Amino acid sequence: MSAAFADRSLIPDHVVAAPDLPDIFPTVRRRGGIVGLIRRHPTTAIGLALLAIMLICAVFAPYLATVDPTALSPARRTRVPSAQYWFGTDMLGRDVYSRVIYGTRVSLIVGFSVAFLASVAGLAIGLVSGFVRVLDGVVMRIMDGLMSIPPILLAVALMALTRGSVGNVVTAITIAEIPRVARLVRGVVLSLREQPYVDGAVASGTTVPMIIWRHILPNTLAPLSVQATYICASAMITEAILSFIGAGTPPNIPSWGNIMADGRALWQVKPYIVFFPGVFLSLTVLAVNLVGDGLRDALDPRMAKRL
């Protein structure tokens, strides 16, 4: 029989002995701060800037708006955009610019609340489902059932049970979005459980709660954050759709959806009433998605170093 490792005494030591590695950690100077961010992640920077503008609009709406967004002015209906009415006025003479600025509040509140609530609830359900095998079947069949209904229809149906308010809109969209998060988290948990480092942790005496806390949860956050931004964006759109068809935000609170609904009848002659809230909605959704991509890269240590 052969020896792949020939008799070591015949070979000079320095040939066989493993040299210590010359390594290893090149120091890379990275530019920090805003300039660094713009250089390395220009799209994320654009997304953050847009989102910051929208946040400012929402927070400082009373100062940015030119007039009360609900003030009627029957004598000045359907004015085209001008120095006085930047985005024109609608068919009741309300200032579209002020309404759009105030509408930012509804969109951001709904988007962020739904993203947060659906993530937390979905994470909890997904973790339970991934770790408690007995419950897995039941929980996942319920989630499948919810998922078989398109989220918008489900939200419309839920809204039909209550009266229109921002809180109810948030609840309805959250319920519609939870199954997607739960399914994602469960899948991630199941694959992480099979990772050798989890086995290694078990072998080093780590208890199950600590394994979830230290090994499962941190590795779930990256995909979850991406999913959360997607949910945030889709919740904003769903809210606009609900408001557009009159099933969402009540008409006395301006939201992009109901501003567009008001302008719908006139869109061929006065397109700006629909145009401006539509642009705001698109830009906000785009911004959220860009920030989501940036977040994913930042949370993945491998991606972070490469970029």
Partner 1 sequence: MSGHLLEVNDLKKHFPVRGGMVGGKGGAIRAVDGVSFSVDRGETLSIVGESGCGKSTVGRAILRLMDVTSGQVVLDGTRIDDMSAGSMRPWRRRIQVVFQDPFSSLNPRMKVRDILAEPLRNFGLARGSKATEVRVGELLDTVRLPRDAASRFPHEFSGGQRQRIGIARALAPEPDLIICDEAVSALDVSVKAQVVNLLQDLQRDLGLALLFISHDLAIVEHMTHRVAVMYLGQIVEIATRTKIFGQPKHPYTFALLSAVPVPQPGASRTRVVLSGDVPSPINPPSGCRFHTRCPFVFDRCKVEEPHLRAISPGQEAACHLHDLPAEQNPLA
* 89 DSSP β-pair partners: 95
Between 33 and 196, whose beta carbon lies closer to partner 1? 196
Between 25 and 63, whose beta carbon lies closer to partner 1? 25
Closest distance to partner 1 from the beta carbon of 211 (Å): 10
Residue 172, number of CB atoms within 10 A of its CB? 26
Between 17 and 49, whose beta carbon lies closer to partner 1? 17
Question: What span, in angstroms and rounded, lies between the C-alpha atoms of 104 and 236?
Answer: 10
Place of tokens 């967004």: 69
Between 23 and 33, whose beta carbon lies closer to partner 1? 23
Closest distance to partner 1 from the beta carbon of 16 (Å): 7
Closest distance to partner 1 from the beta carbon of 70 (Å): 49
Between 74 and 301, whose beta carbon lies closer to partner 1? 301
Residues 226 and 292 sit within 8 Å (Cβ to Cβ): yes
CB-based burial, 263-295: b 16+ in 10 Å, e otherwise: beebeeebebbbbbbbebbeebbbbbbbbbebb
Closest distance to partner 1 from the beta carbon of 213 (Å): 12
Closest distance to partner 1 from the beta carbon of 307 (Å): 13
Mention every residue, 6+ apart, whose C-beta is less than 8 A from residue 128.
Answer: 135, 139
Instruction: Give me the residues that bind partner 1 (CB under 8 A), please.
Output: 1-6, 16-18, 20-21, 23-25, 195-197, 199-207, 210, 214-215, 218-219, 301-302, 305
Place of tokens 């120095």: 83
